[in-house]
Amino acid sequence: MKGKPLVSLENVAVHYEDVTALTALNLDIPAGCSMAVIGPNGGGKTTLLKVILGLIKPSAGKVSYHNLRRSEIGYVPQESGGDSSFPVSALDVALMGRYPLLGLIRRPGRRDRQIARDMLEKVGLGGHVRRHLGALSGGQRQRVAIARALAGEPKLLLLDEPTSGADVEAKDNFYSLIRDLQKELGLSVIIASHELAVVPRFTDDVACMVDGGLHLHACPADVWDEEHFQRIYGSQMEAVFHGKVPHRMVSPHPVTPVPLRGIPTISRSIRSGRKEITPATPTPPSQHPSESDSTEGKD
């Protein structure tokens, strides 16, 4: 259940010399929320996360934290699996999430190591605590990065394009894990993602960003229509649906089916869902030269 805002952004703008990354952005992030930030490349999603983290200072506007310290914000950046050639174990990496709480002088103690182990257990890597990072798969390294973020005992977890390059099953497993962790740990979660299927299935709110501005902030049911996607992605788009969840957005284009010989073509109307079956194209007989046309054996 969502509560009072943890973070509030008021008329926030970010400029990099002559480039505007964010412009007059207003957004409240409530406690207990699960929010997807979607939009095209260059829309300002990563900049927004870094402003919330305090890594980027706004050129204008105000960022307010309510009953939240910056050390209570966990962050999983893009390509966060770590350098697989670096000689560290999964536990070593997860333990790094405790360092902001320890300061420059204190060393990790027994409690810190136990928390890191517990977080690895929660992400399904309890049996890989001592394994070298390079011996883990890409998906497992991503889970280590989540354990590292959770080891700091955050109230707010930010994830930036966390499933880029993953297959469909891995993406579903990843977001199911995040959803479970959110409920178990009482987290607020913000996911910046291009994975449009994530919005209706794993989040309660969606913020649509275009050209550094907040296009829309609403529940997924209020956003999920063709008009909004045309405005967000800047071109005519068409949703490919399997049930109620669009899995991919593509520019509409004419399609001329080329049936395989002897195999009927089955096409589906995206809007109506009606199947249309085109009969198989008969295979023409082989055109071998007849005996009367053959010159072999003739004098």
pLDDT tens for the chain, 299 residues: list them: 567 889 999 999 999 888 899 999 999 999 999 998 988 778 899 999 999 999 999 999 999 999 899 889 999 988 665 566 778 999 999 999 998 888 778 888 999 999 999 999 999 999 999 999 889 988 888 899 999 999 999 999 999 988 876 777 778 888 889 999 999 999 999 999 876 766 667 888 888 888 888 876 767 666 555 555 555 555 544 444 434 444 444 444 444 444 444 444 434 333 334 444 444 455 455 554 444 444 444 44
Residue 195 within a domain: yes
In this structure, what DSSP letter does residue 87 have?
A: -
DSSP, collapsed to helix, strand or coil, labels residue 122 as helix
10 in Cβ contact with 214 (< 8 Å): no
141 CB-contact burial (10 Å; exposed 0-12 / middle 13-18 / buried 19+):
buried
Among the listed residues 208, 193, 182, the one whose alpha carbon sits nearest the alpha carbon of residue 74 = 182
* pLDDT for res 271: 39
The token pair at 59 is 């050129």
85 in Cβ contact with 141 (< 8 Å): no
Percent helix, strand and coil across the chain, each rounded to 5? 30, 25, 40
For the chain, count helices (H), then strands (E). Answer: 9, 13
107 in Cβ contact with 125 (< 8 Å): no
Distance between CA 158 and CA 48 in Å, rounded?
10
* pLDDT for res 225: 57
* pLDDT for res 104: 76
Residue 295 within a domain: no
Residue 285 within a domain: no
Structurally, the chain folds into a number of domains equal to 1
Residue 21 within a domain: yes
Distance between CA 91 and CA 97 in Å, rounded?
10
Distance between CA 217 and CA 242 in Å, rounded?
25
The token pair at 23 is 């412009």
Quickly tell me which residue has 């055109």 as its tokens.
Answer: 287
Residue 185 belongs to a domain with what CATH number? 3.40.50.300
Residue 273 within a domain: no
Residue 244 within a domain: no
Residue ranges in 36-157 assigned as alpha helix (H): 45-53, 90-95, 99-102, 110-122, 138-151
Output the CA torsion 100→49→147→180 (10° steps).
130
Residue positions counted in the chain: 299
Q: What element of type H or E holds 50?
A: helix 45-53
Task: List the 34-38 sheet strands across, edge first.
Answer: 73-76, 156-160, 188-192, 34-38, 205-210, 213-218
Task: Report the predicted TM-score, pTM, of the whole model to 2 decimal places.
Answer: 0.73
227 in Cβ contact with 57 (< 8 Å): no
In this structure, what DSSP letter does residue 84 have?
A: T
Q: How many CA atoms lie less than 13 Å away from 234 in the CB half-sphere?
A: 8
Distance between CA 60 and CA 51 in Å, rounded?
12
Segments of the chain assigned E as strands: 5-16, 19-30, 34-38, 60-65, 73-76, 156-160, 188-192, 205-210, 213-218, 238-242, 245-250, 265-268, 275-278
The token pair at 35 is 């929010």
Q: For residue 157, what are the domain limits?
A: 5-236
Residue 250 within a domain: no
Strand partners, 249: 239
Residue 126 within a domain: yes
